[in-house]
Each structure stands twice: as structure tokens, then as C-alpha cells.
Amino acid sequence: MSKTQDPSSPDLDATASALPLFAQIKSSLRQDILDKRLRAGQKLPSEAQMQLSFGVSRITVRQALNELQSEGLIETVNGKGSFVTRPADAPRLGMLAGFKESLRRSGRMASGRMLSVRTGPAPQRVARALDLPPHALVTITRAIFLADGVPTAFVKSYYEPTLGREILSERLATEDAMSVLEDELGFRLDQTKISATAVKCGWIRGFLLEVPADEPLLHMRFIPIDLTGLALMYSDVYFRPDRFSYRAMLRR
Amino acid sequence: MSKTQDPSSPDLDATASALPLFAQIKSSLRQDILDKRLRAGQKLPSEAQMQLSFGVSRITVRQALNELQSEGLIETVNGKGSFVTRPADAPRLGMLAGFKESLRRSGRMASGRMLSVRTGPAPQRVARALDLPPHALVTITRAIFLADGVPTAFVKSYYEPTLGREILSERLATEDAMSVLEDELGFRLDQTKISATAVKCGWIRGFLLEVPADEPLLHMRFIPIDLTGLALMYSDVYFRPDRFSYRAMLRR
DNA sequence: CAGTGGTCTAGACCACTCC
DNA sequence: GAGTGGTCTAGACCACTGT
């Protein structure tokens, strides 16, 4: 049995040169959460219990918990305890939420139509962004998103097909990629790289989005990144500007 | 039976302990910084001094300082003290930095040419965004930004003309609006509302940006917001997509 | 060296939640 | 009432910065 299931292992490093105690406790808990030894929604041991199991004072425990809280990994409720946050409960700023969720917030009906799902080699820029070897195989999806029944966005996404991420393809017709990553697969989005530019529609996208070929489209790229630094996907999105404009709030 | 001690704290609010002590200390210091009684770069009183002047324990002082630090208002240096951050030293993510600064980071020469500066009534959407009465007078600037000498962006900005913000117009030819707001005027940018869409260039902008009238442009809107919640400007920017694409990192 | 922030302890009382 | 987190105190020792 190499697996010890005790999430509160009192294995603090006593050597003077190591991290401060609270940092060791913090990273121990942090690892338990990221590795899902502590599941989303689960209650952490009480501060009193940690005081005993780690052999430190309560203030030291609290310092670790405070930092985890400000990182959004846990939340504490007076009189009840500390709990691992569910990824989707963490505040979503900007486009960390997805396209459909953001449409629904503005009161519009959002739906999607998957055009194709296939496996193929990653283009160079994708492999670089996802930190994969050149020509690694990825899952490639193409889809049309509709707002109130009108074609609004054309999306081409690349997923590294391990870690169960390929099951995305089954849900994408009804769900958001970002929402699925968070809610179903339990990834903890930390940040999203975005870029924006404009392109001429062209006749292929024009056909799909039902606009003339010389109309402008908003071209955005989204690369959501996990708390562990893992790039989860690479998504090129072409929006019809008459149907959708991207909004976000950038924080200091 | 209520705790009626602590009648002698000179600066703290004694009204029935509405806020915790550390929160009162925090907001007192915060106000001193925002009102510039404590200037950028200035050293705060030492923790020991605050312990005396506020009449609380050191941990309570430190709790206030910790939160101010995580908000980016102060920074503490071991062995020296705590200091009010200079706005420009606060980490700038996304487009909180400006266009020229971001161009220079990518190694390109950035310059600007002011086309016009005038005062006029704010369009409705601008007045609403800046929280001004309808038809309030604002300073309106139009400018062309060049990258490596090539016209790259056309910018139309609206500034509420009080608070010395109008001096912006003098510097905008060489400096960034966001940089001037932070470095020269000492505003503390907290967040920036952005939106992105695509438009056809049209012949006016086409003439200014030296592209054909049916080329697509990236249209972005920036509304930087102060730590006090004040909207500092309203800026419509039209980018040539062949010269510039907008990049940012959205954080949780 | 003295002054500063960084870490940590061993208590205490309170407000809140659940039983 | 028992258990929990929220706040606060009065110390202590350390590492770092300046002189």
C-alpha cells in the first residue's frame, strides 16, 4: 500500500533552512486539493484539529488558510468550517466563463452545433501554446454557436486528448468548453490568455455564419490555463460583430 | 457587560465597534493613501509606532498591513519598513498598461500624432460610462498612433475635464494615456473595462490609417477605473489588424 | 549596534451554526 | 451547549537593513 489516504499528514520539514511553517502547511493543503485528495465542496479539518495534527499554533494554521482563501482554493464559513471551493464557484471574471454562459447572462438563447470532431497533429503554434511536442496528436473540434437561433460564432478548438479531456467533444453541443473543464472535469482555471484581432470573413466562414464574404469578423483566441500552469485548450473563435461583442474586466 | 474598554484610542472609531479594529486601521491608512496624505513612495510609520498610536497589538496592525499589501496599496520590505506603492510599480496586467508601452515591450517604436483636442458635450454612452450628467462637457481628443512609423491605431478619447485631467492633452503625443494617468496624475488604476468588436474601416478611418475602405479593423473600447471607482476616461480605439493584435491575460 | 518586518506561541473572548 | 471560525492580546525569537 503505497497510498496513504490521510490528507493531514504531519510531515512538516523541521530543518531550519526550509520554508516557514505556514507555507509548508499551505502547500501541503494546496497539493491535497489539486490532487483531489480533498475534493471540491469537502470540509477541511477544523483549525483545532490541524493545530494538533501539524503541531503548530492556531495562528500559524490560520495564516496558511488565509492565503489559500485569497487564492480562491478554499472558503471559510463562520461557525461551520473551511471548505474546498468548487471550481465554478470561484468568481469568474472576463471570459473565464464561456461564450454561452455570457450570452445567457444577457438574456439570449445560446446553443451550439458541432460540425466535426477529429484527431490530428497539432499545428506548430498550437503545440507551442499547449506545451506539446511538435506534431503531437490533438483533438480538433469545429462548431457553430448560435444566439437566439442566429449563427454568431465559428469556433475551432484544439485539446490535448489525454486526461479525459476528449470527453469534451460529447458535451460541447450543449455546454461551454470552459464550463465543462471546470464543472465536469474539475480543472481549476487560473487565468486565460486572450488575443483579439479582426479579419475578413472569407467565403467559407461566410457560408457558415451566413454573412457576405467581405464582412469583418472579430477573431479572438482563448487559452485557458490551470492553477498548475497547464494550458487546457487552444481555441480560435470568429464572432459576427453585429451579433456579439466581447466584454471583459481587467483587474490590476 | 459590553466591552467598554478602549475609550482612549485617538484615531479609531469608537462607535460600538462597527468594524473590527484591523479594518478600521486598514481603512484609515487606505484613506490617507488615496487622499495623498501619505504620498507614493513614502514610508509608513513602523509597526511598533502604529501599535502605540492606534493602541492595539502588533498582530492587529499587521493584519491591516497585510490586506493593504494584497490590494497593492503598500509594499513591505524586511528590515526597512512599509511603503506606499507608486501606482506605476503596481503590477500591470493586460491592457492596464497602454498601447505604446505594450508596443515598446515588443521592441517596436511607438509614437503618436494628435489630430485634434476640443471640448464638447459628452455623447450619451460616454456620459453614462463616466457617470456624468447628460451633455456634460468633456475633453475630446483624436489621435493617430504609429508603430515603427506606420499608422496603426486611430484613437478617440473622452476625458472629464476637471481634476487636472485635461493636461493629458499636452502629453498624449509622446506618452500613453494610461501611463500619464498613473505616473503623472497619481491615479491608481484598479480595473479596466474592455470590449472588442470588428468594423469595416470606412473611408475616413481608411484615409487616416492608410488602408482601403473595406478593410476590417479591430475596434476596442477601454474604460480605466480608479481604486475609488472613478471612471477616468472613455477611449475608442481602431486598430489595423495587420499591425497590431491585442493581447491580455485574464486572471481568476 | 538598533530598528525593522517575518514568524510563531499560548492563551482569550466573541459571533455564528447546528443540535 | 458544543464546535467552529473571527478577532485580539502580550509576549518571543529570528533575519534583514541601516549605522
Kind and range of the H or E element at B50?
A: helix B47-50
State whether residue B142 sits within 8 Å of chain A by CB.
no
Cα of A224 to nearest chain B Cα, Å: 9
pLDDT value for B80: 93
User: Which nucleotide's C1' sits nearest to the alpha carbon of B78?
Assistant: C5
Amino acid letter at B49? Answer: Q
Residue B222 DSSP code: E
In 3D space, the residue among A23, A28, A32 whose CA is nearest the CA of residue A10 turns out to be: A28
Locate B199 and state its grid cell.
468594423
d(CA A228, CA A35): 10
Is residue B150 pLDDT above 90, yes or no?
yes
Helix, coil or strand: residue B249: strand
pLDDT value for B195: 92
For residue B135, count other CB atoms closer than 10 A to its CB: 12
Locate B228 and state its grid cell.
475609488
Three-state SS sequence of chain A: CCCCCCCCCCCCCCCCCCCCHHHHHHHHHHHHHHCCCCCCCCECCCHHHHHHHHHCCHHHHHHHHHHHHHCCCEEEECCCEEEECCHHHCCCCHHHCCHHHHHHHCCCCEEEEEEEEEEEECCHHHHHHHCCCCCCEEEEEEEEEEECCEEEEEEEEEECCCCCHHHHHHHCCCCCHHHHHHHHCCCCEEEEEEEEEEEECHHHHHHHHCCCCCCEEEEEEEEEEECCCCECCEEEEEECCCCCCEEEEEEC
Residues 57-116 of chain B with CB under 7 A from strand D are 57-60, 63, 77-80
Q: Do A241 and B70 touch (CB under 8 A)?
A: no
Chain B residues touching residue A193 (CB < 8 angstroms) = 247-249
Cα of A53 to nearest chain B Cα, Å: 24
d(CA A158, CA A142): 9
Mean pLDDT, chain B, rounded, equals 84
pLDDT value for A5: 40
Task: Give the list of residues 6+ apart from residue B125 with CB closer than 8 angstroms, or none.
Answer: none
Kind and range of the H or E element at B74?
A: strand B74-77
The pLDDT of B113-123, averaged and rounded, is 90
The end-to-end CA distance of chain B, in Å, is: 45
Locate A245 and state its grid cell.
461583442
Q: Do A198 and B216 touch (CB under 8 A)?
A: yes
User: Which has more pLDDT, A230 or B8?
Assistant: A230
User: Which has more pLDDT, B178 or B47?
Assistant: B47
Least confident residue range of A53-62, A166-175, B38-47, B124-133: A166-175
d(CA A28, CA B2): 41
Among candidates A190, A216, A251 on the partner chain, residue whose Cβ is nearest the Cβ of B216: A216
pLDDT value for A166: 60
CB of B43 within 8 A of CB of B82? yes
Which residue has cell 493593504? B68
- Give me the sheet containing A246-251, strands edge to edge: A246-251, B189-200, B216-226, B234-239, B150-159, B137-147, B110-121
Max CA separation in chain A (angstroms): 69
Q: Which residue of A has its CA nearest to B71?
A: A252
CB of A193 within 8 A of CB of A125? no
Question: Tens digit of pLDDT for each residue in A210-238?
Answer: 999 999 999 999 999 989 999 999 999 99
Backbone angles phi, psi at A19, to 5 degrees: -65, 160
Locate B183 and state its grid cell.
505616473
Question: Tens digit of pLDDT for each residue in A187-210?
Answer: 888 888 989 999 999 999 999 999
User: Which nucleotide's C1' sits nearest to the alpha carbon of A61?
Assistant: C8
The end-to-end CA distance of chain A, in Å, is: 47
What is the band of B110 on the pLDDT scale with cuts at 50, 70, 90?
confident
pLDDT value for A112: 84
State whether residue A191 sits within 8 Å of chain B by CB.
yes
Question: Tens digit of pLDDT for each residue in A87-129?
Answer: 766 655 545 556 777 777 777 888 888 888 888 999 999 999 9
Is residue B236 pLDDT above 50, yes or no?
yes
Is residue B146 pLDDT above 80, yes or no?
yes
Helix, coil or strand: residue B202: helix
pLDDT value for B242: 95
pLDDT value for A174: 67
Among candidates A191, A197, A214 on the partner chain, residue whose Cβ is nearest the Cβ of B249: A191
Q: Which nucleotides of C are covered by protein (CB under 7 A)?
A: 3-12, 14-18
User: Which has more pLDDT, B76 or A169?
Assistant: B76
d(CA A105, CA A94): 13
Mean pLDDT, chain A, rounded, equals 85
B147 touches strand D (CB under 7 A): no
Question: Tens digit of pLDDT for each residue in B216-227?
Answer: 999 999 999 989
Q: How far is the CA of A81 from the C1' of D3 (A)?
A: 10
Q: Nucleotide C17: nearest residue by CA–C1'?
A: A79
What is the band of A176 on the pLDDT scale with cuts at 50, 70, 90?
confident
Least confident residue range of A3-17, A172-186, B192-206: A3-17
Among candidates A191, A199, A217 on the partner chain, residue whose Cβ is nearest the Cβ of B250: A191
B14 touches strand D (CB under 7 A): no
What is the band of A9 on the pLDDT scale with cuts at 50, 70, 90?
very low
Q: Nucleotide D16: nearest residue by CA–C1'?
A: B79
Question: What one-character-per-residue DSSP string does B120-157 give?
Answer: EEPPHHHHHHHT--TT-EEEEEEEEEEETTEEEEEEEE
- Interface residues for strand C (CB within 7 Å) are A 20-23, 55-60, 63, 77-80; B 3, 44, 46-49, 58-59, 62, 65, 76-82
Chain A residues touching residue B241 (CB < 8 angstroms) = 197-199, 219
Q: Nucleotide D17: nearest residue by CA–C1'?
A: B79
pLDDT value for A7: 47
User: Which nucleotide's C1' sits nearest to the alpha carbon of A80?
Assistant: D4
pLDDT value for B23: 93
pLDDT value for A118: 87
Strands A189-200 and A216-226, sheet pairing: antiparallel
Q: How far is the CA of A32 from the C1' of D3 (A)?
A: 24
pLDDT value for A89: 66
Residue B180 DSSP code: I
pLDDT value for B26: 94
Q: Which nucleotides of D are covered by protein (CB under 7 A)?
A: 3-12, 15-18
Chain A residues touching residue B192 (CB < 8 angstroms) = 249-250
User: Which nucleotide's C1' sits nearest to the alpha carbon of A57?
Assistant: C9
Is residue B16 pLDDT above 70, yes or no?
no
What is the band of A11 on the pLDDT scale with cuts at 50, 70, 90?
low
The pLDDT of B192-210, averaged and rounded, is 94
Locate A72 and state its grid cell.
480562491
d(CA B126, CA B116): 18
Percent with pLDDT over 70 in chain B: 84
State whether residue B196 sits within 8 Å of chain A by CB.
yes
CA distances from A18 to A15, A24, B175 (A): 6, 9, 46
pLDDT value for B6: 32
